[in-house]
């Protein structure tokens, strides 16, 4: 049944292409800050623009068909510095030896829940943000950042909680789906999948539309990640953060559970602790009111909850 329900969701998205593009473009057009960090911060956090605008207009497209849609954002102050792992077919550029890249500036995460709010599937895109594209033939010019996104087999964290831990990046077509460059001062705001020297610039609004259709993004685990690949990277980025209630979260499911009160439109933004290191994240959360729970997933989630309670 889940495949049919996701197909139903995609049909609604496809039928409202122009409206979704218009709203997403308008959400960025109202952002007035200078510089990629401040522009992303304004997009995620301020009312009457950005995420707040997406929440005002897009959820109403889906509610009659039993889908509750919510956009939610977490602002993190510092991105992890990483050291690219060499791809043996390409040498690491000289500037990477003295300048290590940041992992990313914005993580876009799609989460699909059943009616009991259990995460059934998820995927994500990691963006490296710049103000402007380098040229029509090249997305960015910074060699160390290009190597990480375009060629590196993976990376290791330079310092912090995960210092020296190695992670593996997606390969081939999956990398194009999951790692992109974002140009926040272009009009309209644009993005392009890797590699940098073969760009395919499109408006970010169009990319969001494609993301909702599952034409972009790499699958991530809904629970505890195994291995050291894309799911583990996303788990790393869900940093332990604190709000006024000192909430702590450890994976995508727990974070989504905190944001998924669909009856409270004002509960859409959280600011991480100033000492936290991660990547600011924009969540696209869908709760399917007509999708019954998966018995196995519900039993597994209850078991994890009991385990955490008993360990306290």
Question: How does pLDDT run across 20-67, given as a tens digit for each residue?
Answer: 999 999 999 999 999 899 999 999 999 999 999 999 999 999 999 999
Confidence of residue 297 (pLDDT cuts 50, 70, 90): low
Quick check: 192 and 204 in contact, CB under 8 A? no
Mean of all residue pLDDT scores within the chain: 87
Whole-number CA gyration radius for the chain? 19
What pLDDT, in 10s, does the model give residues 146-179? 999 999 999 999 988 889 999 999 998 899 999 9
pLDDT digits (tens, 9 = 90+) for 193-247: 999 998 999 999 999 999 999 999 999 998 788 899 999 999 888 765 555 445 5
- DSSP secondary structure of 23-44: HHHHHHHT---SSHHHHHHHHH
Report how many helices (DSSP H) and strands (DSSP E) the chain contains, helices first: 10, 12
* DSSP structural state of residue 88: T
Listed as own residue / partner, the contacts of 96-101 with beta carbons closer than 8 Å and 24 or more positions apart are 96/143, 96/144, 96/147, 99/144, 100/144, 100/158, 101/128, 101/142, 101/144, 101/145, 101/147, 101/148
pLDDT tens readout for residues 74-83: 888 888 999 9
Cβ atoms of 179 and 103 closer than 8 Å: no
**Distance (Å) of CA 71 to CA 38, 50, 67, 89, 265:** 19, 10, 13, 40, 9
Dig out the tokens for 265 from the structure.
Answer: 């439109």
pLDDT of 310 reads: 38
Total Cβ atoms within 10 A of residue 187: 10
pLDDT of residue 295: 74
Q: What are the domain boundaries of the chain?
A: 2-311
What is the predicted pLDDT for the residue at 24? 98
Q: What is the pLDDT of residues 124-149, one digit of tens each?
A: 999 999 999 988 888 998 888 899 99
Q: Of 157, 156, 142, 202, which is closest to residue 176 (Cα–Cα)?
A: 202
Please, are residues 24 and 57 in contact by the beta-carbon 8 Å criterion?
A: no
pLDDT at 172: 81
Question: 227-238 burial, b if ≥16 CB within 10 A, otherwise e?
Answer: eebbbbbbbbbb
């Amino acid at each position: 049944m889940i495949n049919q329900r996701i197909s139903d969701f995609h049909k609604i998205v496809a039928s409202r292409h122009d409206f979704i593009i218009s709203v997403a473009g308008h959400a960025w057009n109202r952002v007035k800050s200078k510089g990629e960090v401040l522009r992303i911060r304004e997009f995620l956090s301020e009312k009457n623009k950005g995420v707040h605008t997406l929440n005002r207009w897009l959820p109403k497209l889906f509610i009659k068909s039993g889908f509750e849609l919510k956009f939610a954002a977490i602002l993190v102050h510092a991105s992890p510095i990483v050291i690219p792992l060499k791809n043996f077919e390409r040498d690491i550029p000289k500037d990477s030896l003295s300048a290590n890249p940041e992992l990313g500036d914005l993580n876009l995460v799609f989460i699909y829940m059943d009616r009991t709010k259990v995460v059934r599937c998820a995927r994500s895109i990691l963006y490296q943000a710049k103000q402007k594209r380098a040229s029509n033939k090249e997305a960015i010019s910074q060699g160390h950042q290009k190597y990480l996104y375009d060629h590196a087999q993976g990376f290791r964290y330079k310092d912090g909680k995960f210092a020296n831990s190695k992670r593996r990046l997606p390969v081939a077509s999956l990398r194009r789906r999951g790692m992109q460059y974002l140009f926040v001062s272009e009009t309209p705001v644009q993005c392009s999948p890797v590699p940098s020297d073969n760009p395919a610039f499109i408006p970010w609004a169009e990319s969001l539309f494609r993301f909702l259709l599952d034409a972009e993004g790499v699958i991530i685990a809904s629970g505890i990640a195994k291995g050291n690949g894309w799911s583990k990277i996303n788990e790393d980025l869900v940093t332990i953060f604190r709000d006024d209630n000192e909430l702590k979260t450890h994976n995508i499911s727990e974070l989504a559970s905190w944001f998924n009160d669909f009856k409270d439109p004002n509960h859409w933004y959280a600011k991480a602790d100033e000492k936290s290191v991660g990547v600011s994240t924009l969540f696209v959360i869908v709760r399917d009111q007509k999708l019954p729970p998966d018995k196995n997933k519900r039993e597994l989630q209850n078991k994890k909850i009991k385990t955490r309670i008993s360990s306290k």
